[in-house]
Amino acid sequence: MISLTSPVETRAHGWPAGAKLGALCVATLLLFRVEEPGWQAAFCAGMLVLYALPGQAFLKTGLGRLWMLWPFVALILLWHVLTRDAEAGLVIVLRMITAVGLANLVTMTTKLSDMMAVVRWLATPLRRFGVRTRSLELAVALVVRFTPVLAAKGQMLSLAWRARSRRRAGWRIVMPFTVLAIDDAEHVAEALRARGGL
């Protein structure tokens, strides 16, 4: 999941978080059971239709979040073309785009607090075995919240590089991006400690 809640209100915003997450799990299982490129293309087209239904603004925001997948798409397709198995590469790429797109759709139409309530309910049986589920809930919340934040910082680093050099940033921003991620992690850890920790 790579997005925060969408500012565009849709019908899906009122649906129960548990139902949406359950439907996402079923859809993902179906995606991995089907191997035919035609069906994968149809699933991907269906996912795009779901983005288009709430309007152009929602579609533009959703596609913008999916754009960050292009390096993985290019790498997977290149590898499978070189190994002469382009059809398998196409299936993998379509499956990845559809799965991430559907997950992103859920996070765009679901409040983080509602998703955490579902995680808390699912983790309830673990408490009988002495597992502290609060840590699990916080970990899920942090992943959902900070993935788009880190993606935005990566884009800013890339833009800063382009402003200073004609060469593409590529691997050169990996180190500063890593430092930024570690710095953010330290700030979050300090904030958690200041509030009593876990």
For 113-130, the DSSP string reads HHHHHHHHHHTGGGGGGT
Domain ranges, ordered by start, for the chain:
1-110, 112-198
Determine the pLDDT at residue 198: 61
pLDDT band at residue 147, thresholds of 50, 70 and 90? confident
Does pTM surpass 0.75? Answer: no
Q: What contacts 52, CB < 8 A, 6 or more positions away?
A: 58, 59
In the numeric block, the tokens 């958690």 are attached to 192
Mean pLDDT of the region 168-196 = 82
Q: What is the pLDDT of residues 84-129, one digit of tens each?
A: 888 888 999 999 999 999 998 888 888 878 888 888 888 888 878 8
Q: What is the pLDDT of residues 154-177, one digit of tens each?
A: 878 888 888 887 777 777 788 888
Determine the pLDDT at residue 197: 67
